[in-house]
Amino acid sequence: MTRIPFITFAMAGASFATAAASAADKPLDIQDEIIVTASRVPQNRLAVGSAVDILSESDIKTRQQAFLGDLLRDLPGLAVNQSGPAGAFTQVRLRGAEASHTLVIIDGIEAGDPFNSGEFEFAHLVSGGVSRVEVLRGPQSALWGSEAIGGVINVVTGPSTTPDGFWAEGFVEGGSFGTARGSAEAGSAGAWGTVRGSLAYSDISGISASPSGPEKDGYDNFTGSLFATFNISETLSVSLSGRHVSATAAEDAQDFTFGSPTQGLVIDSDGERKSDRWYGRAVADLSLMDGQWTHQLSANLTDTQNESFSGGAFSFGSEGQKWDFEYQTNYAFDVGDTSSHAISALIEYEDLSYENRGAGGGPENQSQTGKQTSAALEYRLGLADQVFLSGALRYDDNDRFDDEVTYRLTAAWAMPDTGFKLRGSYGTGVAQPSFFELFGFNPDFFVGNPNLQPESSEGWDVGVGYSFADGRGLASVTYFDSNLENEIFTDFGVFPFTVDNSPGTSTRDGIEFAFRVDPIDAVSLSASYTYTDAKDDTGARELRRPRHMGSLNATYRFFDDRAAVDLGLNYHGEMQDSEFIFATPETAVTLDDYVLGTVAASFDVTDRVQLIGRIENLFDEDYQDVFGFASPGIGAYAGVRIRLGQM
């Protein structure tokens, strides 16, 4: 069954050649890589008991994908579904969980749409300016609250190193489907702190989302951000950040007219969807006792606005706003030379408001509010730099639903002198219904259900990692298993459609493989494979969850690291999806598997000028991520990056 569709790194950039070669210059040392989201404080990968994978700045720039959702296809456990061309509604699912079960954090801000149960729309997240993506898999509600049933995707913007002085970088690109993109970033850093800002714009003519329609569905996106951190003293710093995304996408619609010859199919239509997202964050960090005792006080704002138009006339709109206030304190201490201890405590208050607007004056025009107070405690233990244990407990007091308690346990054993690490985790999670699911109303197709209850899950995983080739290689395998109670599903047996909780238990289990090695300085290789068996409470396959997914990626650097070529392959297995063609007996159809190939190349003309180019959908695959919606064919793109200031 399916539904309708804290630390922030302040980073500044390196030269193009350095970025391209960073994977070779910095071996994949499992003990040194810092993981941010696996605990309430950053820690070394060695101590992490959960499954986690990273896209580095080198990966992002070398592979050149315009949107971050396409880059996520390279990582195990993630399924990406896009309803048509650029700008179309895009969902990411972790380990067979629903898209609203993935918490997305951008520069410390929970960025999901409050109107839609925290689900993040990946269609509008451009890769420009992103320096790191960290994907933490498995139930994480004890650490991060609701929406973290499937895991957490942490996105960090700004260049990955911080040289003193001024720097700036510009980028322009053009190519197939009427694509024109450009961006500019600039910043300055010193002992006083860091300031940086960025602007990015994309204008894409696109293709028709309808496989049978000639009309192009275009897309434009403007993204701007500002970040500043000020070192008030050796122990106190203050950070401020803001981000704004404004996007407009032309849309084709499915024909739900009973008896129509195109009923259930996607047809050309004069639709348009406008989105505005505002994010803000203010943080004060205080470090005492030589860093042994730290405090963080933060205020965060997420404001999302969506408007849909048909034939130029307003038809539907929504707004969701969340204020989030947090206080966290961390205390760490050692006992002798054999054990280390750390405790984190968190108090959090969320204030949410929602508004639903229709073209008329009917019951769809309404507003609602919600509040939640939470407290969490995490304890971490390290023994002899080999065994690492953690436990977390969270209590949520919500004014609309029953109070919830979630917890998480992890363990990791780094076997001395072998390169092997055994790890495991167990956790519970909750996901609250969205405002639209509870109160949404559109007399043409949907009525909400105010009696919905939150979904709840429990899950565990076990895995082994192996670091080899003097830290230049890393391989891992993970088995995962989780159960979901009260799954929210769309009931298409009534009209208008509605949603309800499933009476039984939905299951997800599978296995993940990840591999990466730099066999020599000039070559980087990576691969992943995921098998996922996701079933609803009737035993039927969950929609839009392929059983098999995989990726291969190879990068070759030459001409003294001034040139690079990257080849990427993504396999997306067959999957089930809904169909609404009443002339056929099926309510679900099987979408074919496909392989997407990408070739990207770059050449540093000078230390400050870099030429780039890529070919997407190399094999010109005709594929669908969502039934009835067309996807772009083969496309070619070329551009240039220019850098000024400190290198």
Q: Is residue 468 part of a domain?
A: yes
Q: Is residue 431 part of a domain?
A: yes
Q: Is residue 7 part of a domain?
A: no
Q: What CA–CA distance (Å, rounded) separates 141 from 404?
A: 10
* Cis previous bond, 496, omega within 30: yes
Both structure tokens of 256: 């739900």
Q: Is residue 385 part of a domain?
A: yes
Q: Is residue 198 part of a domain?
A: yes
What is the tens place of the pLDDT at every residue in 157-204? 988 777 788 999 999 999 999 999 999 999 999 999 999 999 999 999
What is residue 641's predicted lDDT score, i.e. its pLDDT?
A: 96
| Three-state SS at 69 | helix
What is the tens place of the pLDDT at every residue in 305-351? 999 999 899 988 999 999 999 999 999 999 988 899 999 999 999 99
Q: CA dihedral defined by 344, 6, 427, 477, rounded to 10 degrees?
A: -120
Note whether 249 and 87 are within 8 A (CB): yes
- The amino acid occupying position 300 is N
What is residue 603's predicted lDDT score, i.e. its pLDDT?
A: 98
Hey, how many other C-beta atoms are within 10 angstroms of the C-beta on 385? 16
What is residue 620's predicted lDDT score, i.e. its pLDDT?
A: 97
Mean pLDDT score, 551-577 = 97
Q: Does residue 25 have a pLDDT over 50?
A: no
What is residue 213's predicted lDDT score, i.e. its pLDDT?
A: 82
| The model's pTM | 0.93
Q: Is residue 352 part of a domain?
A: no
Comparing 10-14, 263-267, 271-275, the range with the smallest average pLDDT is 10-14
Note whether 277 and 252 are within 8 A (CB): no
Q: What CA–CA distance (Å, rounded) separates 536 from 1?
A: 6
What is residue 160's predicted lDDT score, i.e. its pLDDT?
A: 76
Note whether 411 and 423 are within 8 A (CB): yes
- Residue 560 CB partners (closer than 8 Å, separation 6+): 17
Both structure tokens of 556: 């070759």
What is the tens place of the pLDDT at every residue in 579-594? 888 777 788 899 999 9
CATH of the domain at 283: 2.40.170.20
What is the tens place of the pLDDT at every residue in 434-455? 888 998 877 667 888 999 999 9
| Three-state SS at 433 | coil
Comparing 93-97, 156-160, 378-382, 486-490, the range with the smallest average pLDDT is 156-160
Q: Does residue 424 have a pLDDT over 90?
A: yes
Both structure tokens of 25: 């210059």
Quick one: which of 548, 539, 562 has its CA closest to 610? 562
Note whether 147 and 103 are within 8 A (CB): yes
- Residue 345 CB partners (closer than 8 Å, separation 6+): 328, 329, 330, 375, 376, 377, 378
Q: Is residue 4 part of a domain?
A: no
Q: Is residue 557 part of a domain?
A: yes
Range of the domain at 195: 16-253+262-298+316-341+357-645
Quick one: which of 592, 582, 587, 437 has its CA closest to 499? 437
Number of domains in the chain: 1
What is residue 622's predicted lDDT score, i.e. its pLDDT?
A: 96
Both structure tokens of 114: 């409050």
What is residue 443's predicted lDDT score, i.e. its pLDDT?
A: 65
